[in-house]
Structure 1
Amino acid sequence: MKIVAFGEVMMRLTPPEYKLLEQSSQLDMSFTGTGLNILSGLSHFGYYTSLLTRLPKNHIGKVAAGQIRKLGVQDSNIQFGDQHMGVYFLEMGYGVRPSEVTYMDRSNSAFGKSTLSDYDIEKIVDEYNIIHICGITLSLSKSVKEVAIKLAQVGKEKGKIICFDFNYRPSLNKNINKEEIKNAYKQILPHCSIVIGGERDLLELLNYPVDLFQNLALQFVKEFDLDFFAGTNRGSSEHSQTISGFVVHNEEYVVTTEHSLNVYDRIGTGDAFVTGLLTGIIEQWADKKIIEFAVASSVLAHTMFGDSFIIDKSMVDSYLEGNQMNVIR
């Protein structure tokens, strides 16, 4: 099984030891992005993965490509051009203080300025079984949106599995008409097989009427003829934050148990969920096992520093079996 993801790569800069930016003179640098994070997890689970993106044609782009390879993701579909990469600063939260993300200019990045002519869509689609497209690609620029929709359209025509993550970010859409965003989502969804999202996406982006979420989810799957629709729900108990998951498949709505969270680094945990979800779908597990494995992957991702999921599949299985050891010897 070969998986390719189309999405942006960003530079993440993080002050150490939960410090705020104004408290630190040092920053930890890494390279991240929804597609890369998902592929990293899948490569650690033993699948062949490749990233379809565009990096700056300079030393920063070369370093980023090297880090992508280090995560086990193939770089043969990476293009290079222009000089800029999107950057975000993460001030990690602690206790009751939430984490805070500050984005720098992303629309003028090498990826944000990429166009259809930069990618051989037909060749890429022919080579891969699953194509993942991040929803942020619909918001960055008109040209990137065109690539995402074309990739989904050609993939659907050729019988490929198209996985799409809503991944809606209000901060990226301040200057974009909401109706325009809604139309972009409605253009890509008919070509999709698997969609990751939640209640907010259906209510705020697609303007579904307020109803019991299970009813909305079933309606959404029927409207766009999806194979799977899945996502997570976050909550809290007396002592900790919690997470659970749902999946809609074959007109059935399946939910998981609620898992307590120990949060070290919150960013990228949704991508770990997608890694687990795709693994279960690839392996053709029962729906209950698929969604429990996906949520377990996300739970473990909360305990890791950095966005990319690099935990072995055996550790996810061990967590699900209740084998939570302090030290593995």
Structure 2
Amino acid sequence: MSKMNMIQALNSAMDNMMERDANVLAFGEDAGYFGGVFRVTAGLQEKYGLDRCFDAPINEAAIVAMAIGMAANGLKPVAEIQFSDYIFPGFDQIVSELSRLRYRTAGTFTAPVVIRTPSGGGIRGGQTHSMSPEAFFTHIPGIQVVMPSNPYDAKGLLIAAIESPDPVIFFEPKRLYNGPFDGGAGKALEAWGKHPKGEVPEDHYTLPIGKADVVREGSAMTIVTYGTLVHVALAAAEQSGIDAEIIDLRTLIPYDIETIAASVNKTGRCIVAQEAPRTSGFGAELAAQIQEDCFFALEAPIKRVTGWDTPYPHAHEWSYFPGPKRFINAMREVLEA
């Protein structure tokens, strides 16, 4: 075990898989010699050579297209999109080709492609470096969508994604990359045992795609969230004293409705939370499915805690993010409903 932040854990996952499987390779804009803008692929070109870790042109459509071709011919590419805001030039390739390859070839070809991309705000990146676009990809059949909240999960899920025969969009919350951000969760994170800089095995291990993690048990309500907001929800529960059960989805598609429903049927109240804007966000899908599965157990309407329905506000990003105060206000409203 080593103490790692999320960048180091992701790098360790890549290193493990490139050592185990010669078909695994990594590429993207500045992902080779420089090691990526956030240094996730640092050292991999030096260790594995130019053929297995290399720089790509500034052309996201080409990056995704190359990954599809590589996968169809037996390789396991891990493509980096430098910021999730930049993924849209490759969106047509993801929707029209990558997601459909297994189905349209009747299983003759699969698409073991991982597209890694930093998401969310918190680094003063402004409107073009701070987007949370996960909802776009959860609507595409054939794509798995993952977003870890801590280094241990990040490594285990990335290895599972690389080993998957089907495509995975792997979102990496930038606020959690370097470890110090905890949302003010303090002791709650210690109890959880998965601080943003925590103990991570150096060797190969996997976590199942599609399985959520109950990070805090409680009886007053259920909070369902993912990524950075897991830490904010933990902080809100600690600061408010409200006995909330908190579920970290880890995987958005497929999401673990069994774990969610078991919790909501127990608590009778539910909040879903996302950093992305409110309207048509992934939280709306969760709220709809929870209502369908848990209607007779609900004691109050399902509440959403989200970003604003505005372009990303560079000068006010920390007001934009749902913080503990907004969580606590929502928790009290749900309890009083």
Mark yes or no: TM-score above 0.5.
Answer: no
Please give the range of the TM-score, normalised by the shorter of the 2 chains. Answer: 0.3 to 0.5
**TM-score, normalising length from structure 1?**
0.33
TM-score, normalised relative to structure 2: 0.32
